Structure 1
Amino acid sequence: MTSRVVLCPDGVSIAVSDLEGDGPVVVLLHGLAGSSRELLPTARELDGCRVLLVDQRGHGLSTRRPDDLTREAFVEDVVAVIEELVPGRRATLAGQSMGAHTAFLAAAARPDLVEGLVMLEGHVAGSHDPESAAALGRYFASWPVPFADEDAARAFLGDDAIVEAWVADLQTQGNGLVPRFDPDIMRRTIEAVHEPRWAEWETLRVPTRVIFARNGMFDDAEKNELIRRRPETDRIDLAGGTHDAHLDAFEEWVGVLRQWLSRGERTLDGRDLGGIGSRP
């Protein structure tokens, strides 16, 4: 694995972990307040692929406080990564939550660069609650940082699936540990995600699989509306998992991702994975 940095036109640096290879290109995109680190186990299961793990702007090792947090800026970052690191090739974009939203918009904007789209626990309808983004910002601002150590962080953050990923991402600052993101940046980022993007969804031309967890964020009406507005979309409902199914339903998530990459034939290492997951 090689660490790379892509410099975007607005001066933002995007950190990328490149699992070099000669196979199909897969770009993995994490969710809000996460980093590419949490998708590294997924990347390692994609034998035979050229996997690029991206820290989106404001996250991980990328520029922490970019001025531009529009969805278009996030899309341009993905475009820059593909054009610089795998010039002349098309990629499959796979993302979770906010990362799924970034992947979807990138696929809609630049189908010439994208051959497939996988969205885990992502949606395009946005949020009708103007308070939800502010509430997330307040939550991240409530973290009593710096944490004295990882145990102190776990004691405050609880035992949700995402917690170990957050703890693994903490960095040393002074006499304690702090996250690799700022609460106000997270709030501004999710505010943009909460804008509905149905027009892009309904005109999307890229083959798409959407994956929902059993105990995820979206209800049946929201899932069904996504398919109603774009019937050609392939939908898989996992038997388990939460919104962070890439962490707490890992084997099932990886199975349906690999199945999609092989387009229902055989997985990259030759094992038959037909029948994993279920259609509604």
Structure 2
Amino acid sequence: MHARTPKRREVRARDGARIACAVLDGTGPPIVLLHGLAGSGREFLPTARAFPERRVVLVDQRGHGASTTLPADVSREAFVDDVVRVIDAVGNSPVDLVGQSMGAHTAMLVAAARPDLVRHLVLLEGNEGGGTAEEHEALGDFLRSWPVPFAGREQAAKALGGGPLARAWAADLAATADGFVPRFDADVMVRAITAVATPRWDEWERVTAPTLVVYGRDGMFTEHQRASFAARGRDVARVDLSTGSHDAHLDAFDEWIRALAGFLA
């Protein structure tokens, strides 16, 4: 597989926040990839490289990665507007828009607000929104509990659990003079995910782009939640992977790529 080198791009948001992107050159409609909470575009680089002929854009959503770490606005509308600006900047729309978890929620809202920009929509472990304040605070407590700075990436991966997600987190740490630290702020993460709590059924039911919803075998959602979400979409195909967690792009990679490539083809 040809390993293309991403080119860094930066887009200015409406509030002045920096939205960092990595672009892999190619042809055809771009594939735009949106990561989940506390991640970055880097974790989707293997997915991008599975499409060697396509132009692929990896977005660091606000508050994540190389984008502005402490944005004042973490509303769903701000995230959506950022993605619209990225799509406008990379050109060649409509795009194939792909998101995981919170990134899937963002992608869904973009497709509802700007159907002219989205050719296909792919939602990995996504839904209409939800979660409780207690769950969001528990997530914040977990992120704040990281024993930072880490001495090295291997130590970080071990401390964070040692699995595929932990290794992705470790790979995404920023190197500083004191050690390795996250490229996000835990309080910002809590504010961002809290904004996802309001169910957005109206927007989901407005999406007209052909849509694929993908779930890991051991993902976050119950069968009732998966079935209800898929049923209320307009033009939805559903794939349940035989393995994988909520982060199936990391721990069920081959099956994830087969599902994604088959749909985009």
Same fold? TM cut 0.5: yes
Secondary structure of the 1:139 match is helix
Alignment of 1:100-139 (within 5 A): 100-127=104-131, 129-139=132-142
Which range moved further: 1-10 or 34-43?
1-10
Deviation at 1:191, TM superposition (A): 0.3
Q: Match for 2:218: what amino acid? A: N
Q: Unpaired segments of 5 or more residues in structure 2?
A: 1-5
C-alpha distance after superposition, 1:146-200 (max 9, x if no partner): 1122233123211232111100011122321100001001100100112111111
Which range moved further: 245-254 or 156-165?
156-165
Q: Is 1:184 equivalent to 2:226 in the alignment? A: no
Which range moved further: 137-146 or 226-235?
226-235
Alignment of 1:160-171 (within 5 A): 160-171=163-174
Deviation at 1:13, TM superposition (A): 0.8
Tell me the residue number matched to 2:103. Answer: 99
Distance 1:113 1:125 in 2: 22
Q: Match for 1:155: what amino acid? A: K
Tell me the residue number matched to 1:233. Answer: 236
Cα pair 1:28 1:36 within 8 Å, conserved: yes
Distance 2:65 2:199 in 1: 26
Distance 2:145 2:106 in 1: 27
Cα pair 2:111 2:209 within 8 Å, conserved: yes
Q: Is 1:155 equivalent to 2:161 in the alignment? A: no
Tell me the residue number matched to 2:248. Answer: 245
| Residue number among 44, 61, 84 corresponding to 2:89 in the alignment | 84
Deviation at 1:227, TM superposition (A): 2.1
Tell me the residue number matched to 1:207. Answer: 210
Q: Is 1:33 equivalent to 2:38 in the alignment? A: yes
Tell me the residue number matched to 2:3. Answer: none
Distance 2:190 2:260 in 1: 29
Tell me the residue number matched to 1:70. Answer: 75
Q: Match for 1:201: what amino acid? A: W
Secondary structure of the 1:73 match is helix
Q: Match for 1:145: what amino acid? A: V
Aligned length: 260
Q: Unpaired segments of 5 or more residues in structure 1?
A: 263-280
Q: Match for 1:104: what amino acid? A: M
> What is the CA RMSD across the aligned residues, in angstroms?
1.2
TM-score normalised over the length of structure 1: 0.90
Deviation at 1:231, TM superposition (A): 5.6
| Residue number among 134, 148, 173 corresponding to 1:145 in the alignment | 148
Distance 1:219 1:15 in 2: 34
Cα pair 1:25 1:52 within 8 Å, conserved: yes
Q: Match for 2:78: what amino acid? A: A
TM-score normalised over the length of structure 2: 0.95
Tell me the residue number matched to 1:195. Answer: 198
Q: Give 4+ residue runs of structure 1 displaced > 4 Å after superposition.
A: none
Distance 1:56 1:66 in 2: 11
Secondary structure of the 1:148 match is coil
Distance 1:210 1:150 in 2: 33
> Matched residues, percent identical?
52
Q: Is 1:43 equivalent to 2:48 in the alignment? A: yes
Tell me the residue number matched to 1:15. Answer: 20
